[in-house]
Structures are given as C-alpha cells and as structure tokens.
Amino acid sequence: MKRKNHWVLFAILLLALINLSPSEELTLVRQEDGGEAQPVTPPEAQTKEETGHIQVAVQMNETDFRRLEEMNRQFTLSHPVEVDLVNVPMEESYPAYQRKLMKLGESPDVLLLDNVWVRRFAADGYLLPTEGYFSGSLSGEVLSASLIPNEWNGYVWGVPLDVDPYVLVYHEDKLKQLGWKRPPATADDWNVFVSTFKKQHSQPYLLGLDFRDPYAAATLLWQVGGGWKPTGSGPFYVMEEGHLTYALQQLESLRSTLLDSSLTGLDAWSKLSDGELSMMITTATEAEKHRHPRTKIWMPELQQNLASTWILGRSYAVSSQTDHPDAAGLWISEMTSLYNQARWYETTGNLPVLKTIYYEAARNQLPAWIPATLAAGSGIVLPASPSLPEQLAAFAPPTTDFLSGAITGKQYRGRLAELSR
C-alpha cells in the first residue's frame, strides 16, 4: 500500500513540473559561459521601434536646398526616420502646388510656408496645430514677428524657421549732403527729407524699390504715412483716414524721384553705390548680398501696435493628412534647433528666429543694423489674417500702376477703397 502511494505522489510531482514553465511570463536562459540565468522578454512581448517615413516639401534656391539636404543627412544618421526632400521649382506657384496635392490627398507631411500663408492653410483645415507634434516651447522663445502670423483661433500652426525683414539701404555721403545721418524714421521726417531732396536736385533718384513687390510698396506706404495700425478686420492697406491721406500725398510728391528696381536690375545697385540713387527698399538678404563700402543698412525700430516695415518669414507646418506627426515634429525640432539656426543663417543670410541668438548678437556674428526691438518686441502688430494672400494679390496691381505713373493718386485711392469694401 505504501509503495502504491509513492507512485501516485511521484506522478503528481512529474505533472506539476511539466506544466510549470509555459505559464511563466519570463523565461530563464542560462548563458553559454555558465553564468547566472538572466530574465529575458519572450519574442511576443518585444516592441519594435517604429521608423517614420515622411516627405518634406520646400521651395528655395539650390544653395539653400543643399544646406537643407546636409542638415537632413545629419538628422537621419541619428534618428530612425526616413525623409524625402522635395524642392518645388521656383517658377511654380508654391501655394497652388500645395493646395492641389492636399485636395488630392497626397500632401507632404511637412511644408515650408511663407508666414503670410500659414493662417490661410490653417483656416482651410490643411494643418495640424503645433501642440500635436512639437514638444519644444515657442511662446517666449521665438521672435514675436515670427510667432504672431502663425497664431490663429487660439492655436499656433507653424514652427518659425527664419525671418527676412525689409530694410532701407542708403548711400551714406548722399544722405549727409541732405543733412541726414540715416533715413527718416517718422512721417514728419519724411516730409522734410523729400522737400530737402527736391530743393537740392543733387541726383536724379531718391529712392528705389521693386514696383511689383507688394511688401516693398507696403513698407514705403507705412514709412511715409507714419506706420500701420490694425483697423478691426480691415486689410493692411486700410489706414486711419488722416494717415492714408497724408501717405498718399507724400507718395505723390515722391513719385517722380522713384526708381523701379525691377526694371533696372543690378543697375539699381550700381546707381546706389555711385550716388545716383540715395536709398533703396529691399529685403535684408538682398541688402547683405550687395554690401558696398559707401552704403549702409538701416531697419526702423519696432514699436508696439505699429507696423513700419514688412517682416517676411517662413515656418515649417505639418499637414493634417500626415500619418507620422511625431516623426514630422522630431524633424522640425532638429531643423529649427539653436545649432541649426546658426548654420542656416550662415548659409542663407535669413535671420534666425530664436531670441537667444539675438541676446548674443556679436558672438553669433549678427549684423549691427538689427534693432534691439526685433528680439525684445512683444505684441508687434503684423498683418496676418487668413485673407492676407488675397489682400496682397489685390493690392499689388493698382499699387504698381500708381508708382509707375499709370494712374493718379486720386484714382489709386479710389481703387484701394473699392478693394476694402
């Protein structure tokens, strides 16, 4: 009887040993060197790190695009993300290209947009708010002039990359002859400045700009009119009644002294350096490309709730159709990092957007003409409504006609009034 019980007990123990291992979540594996057993996760419990595959669409010249390709190569070496860069041809309308792809459901994951388009794309439902993919801080870290155009409906819709403000390039000696050390900064200054120039007739042209460029024209309008303040939901060319009247009077007086740089090309820069032209309104990048010992660059100080010069900028945005928002956000964070901001400025000449770089301007070799208010300014008013692209398209033709003398100041004012209805 005892022998029979022993066999029953032995059978029970054997069954218990057989059923022990499969129910455990961890398996003990003995190392080949005879060391202690180590717990490992079974294959079915392991998770593979996902590799995102994103497409980035930009529109830039070849030099800038090569720099972006290099920055992207460095990124892909250290991150499990595949990135296809697409450089849209400069002659193709970038917004039209993007809209076409988005309507077809073939949108790139990341888009580089001019800031004037960010609110329009956001309002049309084409973008994701940055809160959904960007882990860094934007508020307080980037220039207000870059952030404000990207804010709409309580969200931020793009991560700023760079800025390119409009500036005045002037011939130092010619301005001294007119009794000025630098360009006029107020509407009253402009009145005196133009009057002095017309009395002296020291050279045929006072000011050059591209008549077809609405940003340059708006900068001129704001300069001679004392700046632009927002008038409710009105477009940027709707100024306070007194300011608009004064600005148009000033432009009428100036018109005979203006040079259309779009027609003269490089000759305009030669005229400026030779003293046949006193000043030129252009972008900072163009001004830096045409540096000359006789000329200097000036940008007006930025004031609260008053726009006096147009500040172009570009931002990265993520398509609402993307399947990889985290990978897109990771790529954008790297491309706009403090290190890459400095590299980008060195190559492209477009100014950085991170305030930290401006606080150490000398160390980062930023030009001395940059006003301190560019970094310190908060609440800077810039035109940034979703309808801004349409406003610019409507503003350009009559402005070109007026500056070139095809229509009178009265006709120009009437056409602006029609556009604002």
pLDDT, the chain, mean: 84
Query: Two tokens at 239?
Result: 């100024």
- Sequence-distant (≥ 6) Cβ neighbours of residue 50 within 8 angstroms: 80
137-192: pLDDT as tens digits? 898 899 999 999 999 999 999 999 999 999 999 999 999 999 999 999 998 999 99
pLDDT in tens, 202-238: 678 999 999 999 999 999 999 998 888 887 667 888 8
Instruction: Give 302 or 28, the one with higher predicted confidence.
Output: 302
- Any alpha helices (H) in 258-387, and if so which ranges? 261-264, 266-274, 284-289, 325-335, 338-348, 355-359, 373-376
Which is more confidently placed, 80 or 16? 80
Q: In the structure, what pLDDT confidence band is assigned to residue 305 with cuts at 50, 70 and 90? A: confident
CA distance 140 to 134: 15
H or E segment and range at residue 315: strand 311-318
Residue 105 buriedness (CB in 10 A; 0-12 / 13-18 / 19+): exposed
Q: What is the pLDDT of residues 253-285, one digit of tens each?
A: 899 999 999 988 789 999 999 999 999 999 999
Instruction: List the single range of 64-78, 79-93, 340-354 with lowest mean pLDDT.
Output: 79-93
**Above pLDDT 90, what percent of the chain?**
63
At residue 417, the pLDDT reads 87
Structure tokens at 124: 């049309």
Mean pLDDT over 115-128 rounds to 94
Does the pLDDT value for residue 241 go beyond 70?
A: no
Query: What's the pLDDT score for residue 202?
Result: 65
pLDDT computed for residue 45 by the predictor: 33
pLDDT digits over 397-413, tens only? 999 999 999 999 899 98
Higher per-residue pLDDT: 11 or 218? 218
Residue 21: its pLDDT value, please?
A: 42
Could you tell me which residue, 227 or 93, shows the higher pLDDT?
Answer: 227
Over residues 71-85, mean pLDDT: 96
Q: How confident is the model at residue 104, as a pLDDT?
A: 65
Give the up-direction half-sphere exposure of residue 142: CA atoms within 13 A in the CB hemisphere. Answer: 28
- pLDDT tens string 369-399: 999 899 987 778 888 899 999 999 999 999 9
- Contact at 8 Å (CB) between 194 and 187? no
More confident residue, 420 or 350: 350
Share of the chain above pLDDT 70, in %: 86
